[in-house]
Amino acid sequence: MTLKTIFHLDTTERWPHLASNLDNYLAAEPDADIEVLVNGDGITVFFDQKVAAFIAAHPQVHFFACHNSLQQRHLDETKLPAGVPVVPVGVVKLAQAEAAGYGYIKP
């Protein structure tokens, strides 16, 4: 059985914890289906080069950015790391993932 999990990041301070969680999770379950929804103040992590490098190094993890959070902070979505799609409403993405059977983790 493939584990399906969505992680939720809404603050920049929790990024190191999330990154550690992802590495540990993938070490234990390399075939897991993992998504990460980033919204709120956490959205700014996408504009950090170290975070962009982490995302590039983990292509099996699907990261998503909240459009509302980008817009509220006047951030340019064209500057997001490659492969990070924008969802209209982050909390809806979380609810959709849970409805699809994804476990929810908020580091």
* Tens-digit pLDDT profile for residues 40-59: 999 999 999 999 999 999 99
pLDDT at 1: 84
Distances (CA, A) of 76 to 50, 63, 102: 18, 17, 29
Question: Range of 14's domain?
Answer: 4-22+31-105
pLDDT tops 90 at residue 84: yes
Whether this prediction's pTM lies above 0.85 is answered by: yes
Region 82-89 average pLDDT: 97
- Return phi, psi of residue 14, to 5°: -90, -5
**Mean predicted lDDT score pLDDT of the chain:** 97
By CB atoms closer than 10 A (0-12, 13-18, 19+), residue 47 is middle
Region 69-90 average pLDDT: 97
Region 7-13 average pLDDT: 98
Region 93-100 average pLDDT: 98
State how many domains the chain has: 1
CATH number of the domain residue 71 falls in: 3.40.1260.10
